[in-house]
A and B are shown apart, each in its own frame.
Chain A
Amino acid sequence: MPQPISGRPFALGRTLTSLVLSALLPAQLLPAQAISRTSQPEATPATSTQPLSDQDRRILHLLNRFTFGPTPDEVAEIHSLGPKGIDKWFDLQLHPDRLPLTDDDHTLQARLAEFPSLNLPPDQLIGRFPSNGIIRQAADNKIPAPDDPYLYAIYSHHIQQFKEKQAKKAEEKSDKQAQQPGVAANSAPNMAAGSTMSTPSESQTGESITTAGKEAAPRKELVDNSDRDRARPRYEEVLFHSVVDLPPDKRLQRILYMPTAEFEQLNRGLKPPQRLQLTEGFNPEQRELFADLENPTRAVIFELQAQRLYREIYSSHQLQEVMTAFWLNHFNIYLHKNDETPYYLTSFERDVIRPRALGNFEDLLVATAESPAMLLYLDNSSSTGPDSKVAERQKERQAEGIAKKNTPPGLNENYGRELMELHTLGVNGGYTQKDVTEVSKILTGWTVDHPQLGGDTTFDENRHEPGTKIVMGHKFKEDGMKEGLKLLHMLATSPATAHFISSELAIAFVSDNPPQTLVDRMAKSFESHDGNIAEVLKTLIHSPEFWAPAAYQAKVKTPLEYVVSAVRASNAQVTNPQPLINWLNQLGMPLYACIPPTGYSDKANEWVSTGELVTRMNFALSLANNKLNGITTQWPSTTDEAPDQSANQSIESLQAKLIPTGVSEKTRAAVLTEVEGQSPSPSQITPQSATPKPKNYNPAAAQQQAQQQQQAQIAALLLGSPEFQRR
């Protein structure tokens, strides 16, 4: 049984003391604000201040750390599990496959069903949503066009766009060359590679594109909206009306088979409501095809980001999602490393990280090391042994004067270094630059087969550095790919790794500067359980340091935690997560887009900055006031629950839902002042207003609307408050 957080409830009168103290002490040494309300949502509107029970505080602490923000349902669930509810809940979360599906899980399943392609392996995903590289190769006839007629149309469209861009550039080039005569254009296409792969469908592609290219110019004239004839409707309007009333399948077909120039004109001219009309009634496959036609890579990135947010918001497997986010950040991969990364990231999260998030560390480490995503991101795929067969051959060719490149391929130490510094031992893990080089040699040959085509990891014997390597005193005899596996075993089982991972977990779940005793205990558990992550987490929640007052509310939310917890606390219905994705960009934590391999910081000083808080407040205002397209919050109308509820009571009941750990008296007072001063109270909505009322004026409806606005405003202020920044 975890030790209780020793409750040190502050009486209202002691707020002054806490203010003085906070000026002298770092915030995390203080227990949370004391003005607390009951967390139970069904409680009657509290009129008196009830401090949280110790059990309430423990439950909220647990949920604040191991979920993306507590919801009333989870609090109630743990209460219902009895006196050992906390342990029982945690054990259930450690085995997500045993958890029964909740309503939210069903919502999640419905949302994920919107993205049928999410389950494809990288090579199929990249064929289904062609990357720039695929389009380039298809345009050069190096890969065949797909057989599927719809995909064929999508390819043709993107190939033509690509060729038009090329032609435009060539034009610029020839203009330039006119000024500099005598220089031969270096544009003869190399057909040799492509012709060996030639298939009937490929030559067909080539033909259709040539035809399309020839037709492009006159078509452009056809669609030109010159202002000679203003009375005529704009051509994109004509196009829009020619398709919008068709049944969905016919409509999609018509759009897909539009000549490229027409589709571009239509797409550019669409107003947001028209865009919705154009895709109305589409099934998920049809929506994906439409997105594919617009921008394939963007479609893949959107689905990747959207599924992640949907899971974090709705999944009842919260611990698994929290740990998935933790490991995705630990094994960070930058989305825009190259054209192919988004396609590999989908699989990296789905096949490598999420299934192992609560499993065994070595298993996870090996899976990341073997993933094409990591091999490409940290350049190991291009690392070559300086004495490998490939390098030797290159040196010979150079000696004979055949080789074009002056430098033979060699080692790339990027992955070798980060593997030790960031993934296992930590920066002070006792390795030297020599060890980095040796590790890099061991890992030569771990590469990716045709990354442009979404290929899988492969071991290339010819690029592997021969001979014995020595890492931190351990000898690794020549053994091909097995050398790497032995190395990973050594790193995964090193005491430095146990310590480094434990420290990262303690920072994520306890405080920015976790007690050394706790980290040591977790590291011991890591070693004695062979890197079993679930066991380390169990050790964590059974440690007194986790339940100490110093840890309570000690963490400041990262932008991701802030945004997702605000959506969860508001019980918002999300049908389009794009606005959340955009807000995360603005908050400086774009999903999958941390450039350095370090991942995002888990510490407050990185996120609490001037400017950042302004953006958080603006997010709270947008969310609570339903300004985000596709995200709906519904604040209880006061007339539903208690018709005569005062502003004060509204604040109390919303605070109990949104910030069950409580807010300070100052925060409450600021909300109250704002609500009483700005929004009209129900009694103020009287007919004496100067503006004439519409005929169908309904005083009751107007009053309800005013009340809901007031509720939204209270919610916005609470979600933007200092208290909601902590967890």
Chain B
Amino acid sequence: MNTTRRFFLRNGALALAGTTALPAFLTRAVMAATMEATAQGKKLVVIFQRGAADGLNIVVPWREPNYYTMRPTIAIPQKQVIDLDGFFGLHPAMASFQPLFAQGHLAIVHATGSPDHTRSHFDAQDYMESGTPGIKSTTDGWLNRALQAEDLRRAKLREAALQSSPFRAIALSPDVPRTLAGKVPALALSNVQDFAVGGRGPKPAPAATAFEAMYDESSDSLLHSAGDTSFEAIKMLRATDPAHYSPTPDANYPDSPFAKNMKQVAQLLKANLGVEAAFTDVTGWDTHQNQGGAEGQLANRLRDFSDSIAAFWRDMGPESENITLVTMSEFGRTARQNGTGGTDHGHANAMFILGGNVRGGKVYGKWPGVADEQLNEGRDLAITTDYRQVLGEVVSKTIGAQNLDLTFPGARLNSRQFLGIV
């Protein structure tokens, strides 16, 4: 941690905005103007589906006869699949993704995942988030290294270093997730409205003022800088008047924890706080038992998942142009249904990429097939695209992290192998 991360507006316009009662519209204008000068404007949103989502019932290979043989009671009937390209189709609960796909904003990569063969949730998530499958000793996360790579590129080009906002990398969670852990400071907050010292409110609580003075003038450099950034962040957030925020009227967020997180991601992105990378996760995908088919447990999960993301997209309005959103899960599930109407831990999965500059309307990746002899270890969808290939392309073409060896050490990624999604 160093002192350069202190927000550049510390003694400038924002300090003014934070300490005096500027009207909110003026604050936003001040901030927008200063941000525009520095930010590239591309923003990346990463969603982790924890628990291993069943990719084969999410993006359904409905032309594969063996899909129906292997999943006698949980397969999505051909008639109910939302067809995408005559071979793949979406789960019927994901109707809200259909227009996004048709408009060319939403792309899918199928048969992708982490090359490590672990079937352990925690190992696989850890590998996925660290970006170094099979290597436990990595201490930071891929998204943090991508931001480091961006800084390096700018330094090399002698561009002015991107003035770092405390909101540059955010996670809607109590602590910084593995994906965002590392040198670039990341801010974790579970609730935008509660992010304050001594209670929320239009004005800082008295205790907050005292704490701020202590940390501001502390000679303990480590705590001084983290404390300072915290108060910067609180002030910046307060200036956006988070209590009176409401999403775009036609953004119909479901009532769920995931939707709440997505709504807050949109809120932070729209507030011009300098967000470059945002992370959130969604749980409930570990469907070992009675996962259901067109309706049921997984269907409900998918409805919430796709409706929340679609609402987020509408909520972002014209700004969605600068957004790239990518989803991932630690591994897929077995191609065959198990004895309890569910699926067990598998291998490859499907990823969604949604964005203004995404070449959507297409399912990317080489399809390995699901005939018995085509399955990985005789039981799961095989991986044909390393997930780092997808993320590597996304980070290099959005936030400008072109040093792929830094972001994904050991993966030997090459931009020539990119799928051309973005």
Chain A contact residues, CB within 8 Å of chain B: 15, 18-19, 21-23, 25-27, 30, 33, 169, 172-173, 175-177, 179-180, 183, 185-186, 334, 337, 379, 406-407, 414, 417-418, 421-422, 427, 556, 585-588, 595-598, 604-605, 608-615, 617-618, 621, 664, 666-667, 669-671, 673-674, 677-678, 713, 716-717, 720-723, 725-726
Is A427 within 8 A of B189, CB to CB? no
Is B341 within 8 A of A173, CB to CB? yes
Is A617 within 8 A of B211, CB to CB? yes
- Residues of chain A within 8 A (CB-CB) of B209 are 674
Those 7 A-B pairs whose CB atoms lie nearest each other, nearest first: A588-B175, A406-B378, A674-B210, A670-B213, A666-B217, A22-B219, A722-B223
Q: What size tier do the contact residues of chain B reach? A: 35 or more
22 contacts between A and B (CB under 8 A): A23-B3, A27-B220, A172-B295, A175-B295, A176-B293, A334-B122, A406-B377, A414-B120, A587-B175, A595-B125, A596-B122, A598-B136, A611-B187, A611-B230, A612-B188, A617-B197, A617-B198, A621-B197, A664-B219, A671-B210, A717-B207, A723-B220
Is B292 within 8 A of A173, CB to CB? yes
* Closest CB in chain B relative to A233 CB, distance in Å: 30
Q: A169-B290, A674-B210, A725-B223 are in contact. Are A587 and B230 (CB under 8 A)?
A: no
- Residues of chain A within 8 A (CB-CB) of B220 are 22, 27, 722-723, 725-726
Q: Is the interface of A mostly helix, strand, loop or mixed?
A: helix
A586 to B194 Cα, complex, angstroms: 12
B367 interfacial contact with A, CB 8 Å: no
B397 interfacial contact with A, CB 8 Å: no
In this complex, what residue of A is CB-closest to B137? A427
In this complex, what residue of B is CB-closest to A677? B206
A97 to B189 Cα, complex, angstroms: 44
Q: A186-B73, A673-B210, A674-B210 are in contact. Are A173 and B136 (CB under 8 A)?
A: no
In this complex, what residue of A is CB-closest to B189? A611
- Residues of chain A within 8 A (CB-CB) of B377 are 406-407
Proximity bits, B204-243, A CB within 8 Å = 1, else 0: 0011111101110111111110110110011000000000
9 other A-B residue contacts (CB within 8 Å) besides A173-B296, A722-B220: A27-B220, A176-B296, A407-B377, A588-B174, A605-B1, A617-B197, A618-B198, A671-B214, A674-B210
Is A674 within 8 A of B207, CB to CB? yes
Number of A-B contacts (CB under 8 A): 188
Is A610 within 8 A of B166, CB to CB? yes
Is B233 within 8 A of A613, CB to CB? no
A177 to B73 Cα, complex, angstroms: 8
Is B292 within 8 A of A172, CB to CB? yes
A21 to B224 Cα, complex, angstroms: 14
* Closest CB in chain B relative to A586 CB, distance in Å: 5
A617 to B294 Cα, complex, angstroms: 48
A455 to B110 Cα, complex, angstroms: 42
Is B198 within 8 A of A183, CB to CB? no
* Closest CB in chain B relative to A298 CB, distance in Å: 18
Q: Tell me the residues in window 141-171 of chain B with beta carbons closer than 8 Å to chain A beta carbons.
A: 166
Is B219 within 8 A of A19, CB to CB? yes
A605 to B5 Cα, complex, angstroms: 14
In this complex, what residue of B is CB-closest to A665? B217
Q: Which of A18, A185, A610, A621: most chain B CB closer than 10 A?
A: A610
Is A614 within 8 A of B292, CB to CB? no
Q: Is the interface of B mostly helix, strand, loop or mixed?
A: loop
- Residues of chain A within 8 A (CB-CB) of B136 are 417-418, 421-422, 427, 596-598
A612 to B136 Cα, complex, angstroms: 25
Is A613 within 8 A of B230, CB to CB? yes
Q: Tell me the residues in window 375-392 of chain B with beta carbons closer than 8 Å to chain A beta carbons.
A: 377-379
Q: A334-B122, A608-B222, A609-B185 are in contact. Are A678 and B206 (CB under 8 A)?
A: yes
A726 to B218 Cα, complex, angstroms: 13
B101 interfacial contact with A, CB 8 Å: no
B126 interfacial contact with A, CB 8 Å: yes
Q: Per a CB cutoff under 8 Å, which of A173, A186, A422, A609 touches B186? A: A609
- Residues of chain B within 8 A (CB-CB) of A422 are 136
B8 interfacial contact with A, CB 8 Å: no
In this complex, what residue of A is CB-closest to B186? A609
B410 interfacial contact with A, CB 8 Å: no
Q: Per a CB cutoff under 8 Å, which of A27, A183, A418, A717 touches B221? A: A27
Is A717 within 8 A of B210, CB to CB? yes
- Residues of chain B within 8 A (CB-CB) of A605 are 1
B284 interfacial contact with A, CB 8 Å: no
B77 interfacial contact with A, CB 8 Å: yes
* Closest CB in chain A relative to B385 CB, distance in Å: 24
Is A621 within 8 A of B292, CB to CB? no
Is A587 within 8 A of B229, CB to CB? no
- Residues of chain B within 8 A (CB-CB) of A169 are 290, 296-297
Is B226 within 8 A of A421, CB to CB? no
Is B187 within 8 A of A673, CB to CB? no
A556 to B226 Cα, complex, angstroms: 13
- Residues of chain A within 8 A (CB-CB) of B230 are 610-611, 613-614
Is B218 within 8 A of A666, CB to CB? yes
Q: Per a CB cutoff under 8 Å, which of A15, A414, A587 touches B219? A: A15
B257 interfacial contact with A, CB 8 Å: no
Q: A586-B174, A717-B211 are in contact. Are A18 and B219 (CB under 8 A)?
A: yes
- Residues of chain B within 8 A (CB-CB) of A183 are 72-73
A124 to B226 Cα, complex, angstroms: 47
- Residues of chain A within 8 A (CB-CB) of B221 are 22-23, 25-27
Is A407 within 8 A of B378, CB to CB? yes
A666 to B213 Cα, complex, angstroms: 8
Q: Per a CB cutoff under 8 Å, which of A417, A604, A611, A671 touches B188? A: A611
